[in-house]
Amino acid sequence: MIRKHLCYILLAIVITSCSTNPYKNTEKVYDKQLKTLENQITSKEVQPIPSVSPVVIDTTYAQQLGIVKDTLSKTGSTILLNGINTEWIGTVNFNLRKPSFIIIHHTAQDSVQQTINTFTKTKTQVSAHYVISENGKVVQMLNDYLRAWHAGASTWGKNTDINSSSIGIELDNNGFKPFTEAQISSLVALLTKLKKDYNIPTQNILGHADIAPGRKQDPSALFPWKTLAEKGFGIWPDEILEEAPFDFKIEQGLRIIGYNTKNLSAAIMAFKLHYIQTDTTATLDRKTIDTIYSIYKKQVQ
């Protein structure tokens, strides 16, 4: 009787081992899709950036700084037009992520090459997806789908891991000089592509200072946020400010916009660095309050 049961067990094992995998076809589809994603993520081909209309940095503050027009020129074999192709240089610091924000930085270094060296050394533990030189050359250092290490300890609204949801763009600038028109022109061209590719909301194009009040000040007060907003990248207060209601709660308004207000003074300064720029103190004058109210209204629309 035992021998008979053993025979049945052995027969069942043989039948099971010889049966067809019911998920064989779906596994093939999975493997094919996995390979497609792998190829997409590991691709190092040159990517085209769309042409855009000429960008003129035209804010009153920029004019006071004496910004002059800069022409596009050649660097090595790269043709610097507004339809330029990016050059690929891979960074060593990354992991997986999905982009829904774009964070703009200035490098606070002396050259693009210095920044590239920083991003290609493991010990630095810092990276970004793109670096844009003063003459408009764009270097891509990480696939958009991968997670760079550019935001650090940052928050926006309830998002406490900005690195996992953002594309980092570094502008070659030491933080004390105006950004060139060639550089901003290439930035606008790049933003045009990225915003379309990933359906990134207009209000999700921010500066490092916005997401890290008190810890970071980049891009500096010299950055032309108004020009970008006019091109559809970020929001800007109304030209004629509506007076904020008497009961408008400033701290709550800043939080709804996205700012971390644990240090309210730092949040006010970060806001002014982006939207007022001629005054980046923590002073809450009438203009500051009404500007916060203007951005608050646009954020909740």
The reply to whether 170 belongs to the active site is yes
The residue behind tokens 């028109």 is 181
Find, among 289, 278, 292, 270, the residue nearest to 63 by Cα: 278
94/147 Cα distance (integer angstroms):
5
Find, among 237, 226, 221, 210, the residue nearest to 293 by Cα: 237
- Return the bridge partners of 103, or none: 168, 206
- Side-chain half-sphere exposure of 196, counting CA atoms within 13 A: 8
Report the residue count for the chain: 301
Cβ contacts of 45 within 8 Å, gap of 6 or more: 88
Report CA torsion sign: 203, 149, 269, 179: negative
Q: Which of 27, 87, 170, 181 is catalytic?
A: 170
Active site (catalytic) residues: 170
